[in-house]
Structures are given as C-alpha cells and as structure tokens.
C-alpha cells in the first residue's frame, strides 16, 4: 500500500515572531513522535536563484522590484518537484515562509497590487495549514532591534502586516492564527496541536493547488 502523504505546513508571520525557532522545534517534536518530517525555508539561499536573492537581501546587489519578486517565486517553483516527492513519500514538510511572504512583502512596496503579487505563485502546492505567528509591532520591537538586511525596518514591517491581514481574508487557504507573544514552549504546544490536526486531515485529502 502507498504511504499516506505528508502534510505541507507553513509558518508565516512578521519578523521576530519566532518562525525559525518554532519550525525547528516542530520538526524535532514530530520526528520524536514518529512522524517523518523535514524543514524547508524560503528563500532557499543555496540554489543559483537563491544566491541572487541573498545578495539582494544583504544589499550587495540591486534588482528591479518585479524582477526580485519573480525570483522569489521561481525559487519556490524550483523546489516543487522535491516537495511533491517528499510529501508523496509520507514526509511532512515544515516550511519557514512561503508564497504569502512573497505577496505580503512585494505588495508592501509602492505600486504593487496584492493581486499581481499572488499571480506567479498560483498553482504551487497548497499548504494543508498556514500558521500565522501573530505579534504586535510593539512586542516585536521589545524583542530587540532589526538586523541589517533589506526590509528590516519597523515602518515596512507594519505595511507587510497589513498585507498579511488582507491575505488572511481568503478562506480558500487554511489559516490558523497563533499568539506568538507567549513563551517559546507555550507557542510550540499550540503549533504542535494545530499541526497534528493538519497531518491527520492530509492523510485523507489530495494535495491542493494554491490560489487556483
């Protein structure tokens, strides 16, 4: 009999919400409970496209805004065959950022509609759940200063949060809001419960196509 498919679990949220820490904790907890699980992150800076993106984020290069948006999207598409293969084999993928960051960040720039920004990601594997780690701008600020990379400033992050809120109005995506203001362990427990629900539901549902 074919293995039950794994779930595609995405963590999104503004900077400093704790996405990366929580992705790692979730993968470890799932593995310890006997669920095959792996972490992925976007951008994946290891590929040729990812290196172009990384240089842009580190402000070592300049790229035209539409161009870099499409590179972020291409960086997801290039991973799709591997993602599908792993999901079909029964591995749950825990993904740090996805197309929602793509749309929220670019559409926070002047002159970009949310609609245009989602287009290049239409048809990507659809997450079984998107966990949005919610943190107020004041709480994010209390976690220390932003780093030196592009986009790491409070005004831009607040515009990004507005765009995330608009994306969360779309009921075709299974959004779940997680209060990220609690302790790392409490946030983890909430995420783990919501992820187990998604893993069980995915076993009886085919993988969908995003925004299609």
Question: Where do contacts with ligand TMP occur on this chain (CB under 6 A)?
Answer: 42-43, 57, 72, 97, 101-102, 105, 151
d(CA 192, CA 87): 18
Here the tokens at position 88 are 């079909």
- β-partners of residue 125 are 209
Residue closest to ligand TMP, measured at CB: 102
Cβ at position 11, least distance to ligand TMP in Å: 10
CA angle at 87 for the pair 84 and 93, rounded to the nearest 5°? 105
In terms of CB distance, is 45 or 84 closer to ligand TMP?
45
Cβ at position 33, least distance to ligand TMP in Å: 26
Cβ at position 98, least distance to ligand TMP in Å: 7
Cβ at position 42, least distance to ligand TMP in Å: 4
Ordered alpha helix ranges (H), the chain? 19-32, 48-57, 65-77, 80-88, 99-107, 114-119, 137-142, 154-168, 184-202
In terms of CB distance, is 97 or 194 closer to ligand TMP?
97
List CB contacts of 165: < 8 A, sequence separation 6 or more.
none
Cβ at position 200, least distance to ligand TMP in Å: 27
In terms of CB distance, is 17 or 129 closer to ligand TMP?
17
In terms of CB distance, is 53 or 87 closer to ligand TMP?
53
Cβ at position 159, least distance to ligand TMP in Å: 12
Alpha carbon 135 to chain centroid, angstroms: 16
> Does the CA dihedral 58-61-66-69 come out positive or negative?
negative
* Interior/surface letters 37-61, b for 16+ CB within 10 angstroms, e for the rest: bebbebbbbeeebbebbbebbeeee
In terms of CB distance, is 85 or 150 closer to ligand TMP?
150
In terms of CB distance, is 91 or 120 closer to ligand TMP?
120
């Amino acid at each position: 009999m074919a293995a039950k498919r794994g779930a595609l679990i995405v963590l999104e949220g503004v900077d400093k919400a704790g996405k990366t820490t929580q992705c790692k904790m979730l993968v470890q907890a799932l593995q310890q409970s006997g669920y095959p699980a792996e972490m992925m992150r976007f951008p994946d800076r290891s590929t040729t496209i990812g290196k172009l993106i990384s240089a842009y984020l580190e402000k070592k290069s300049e790229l035209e805004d539409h161009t870099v948006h499409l590179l972020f999207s291409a960086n997801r598409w290039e991973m799709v065959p591997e993602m599908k293969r792993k999901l079909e084999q029964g591995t749950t993928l825990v993904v740090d950022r996805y197309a929602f960051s793509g749309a929220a960040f670019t559409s926070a720039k002047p002159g970009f509609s949310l609609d245009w920004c989602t287009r290049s990601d239409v048809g990507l594997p659809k997450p079984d759940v998107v966990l949005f780690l919610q943190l107020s701008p004041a709480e994010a600020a209390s976690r220390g200063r932003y780093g030196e990379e592009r986009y790491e400033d409070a005004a831009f992050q607040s515009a990004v949060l507005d765009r995330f809120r608009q994306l969360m109005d779309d009921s075709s995506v299974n959004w779940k809001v997680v209060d990220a203001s609690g302790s790392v362990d409490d946030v983890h427990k909430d995420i783990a419960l919501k992820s187990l629900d998604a893993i069980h539901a995915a076993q009886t549902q085919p993988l969908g196509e995003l925004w299609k």
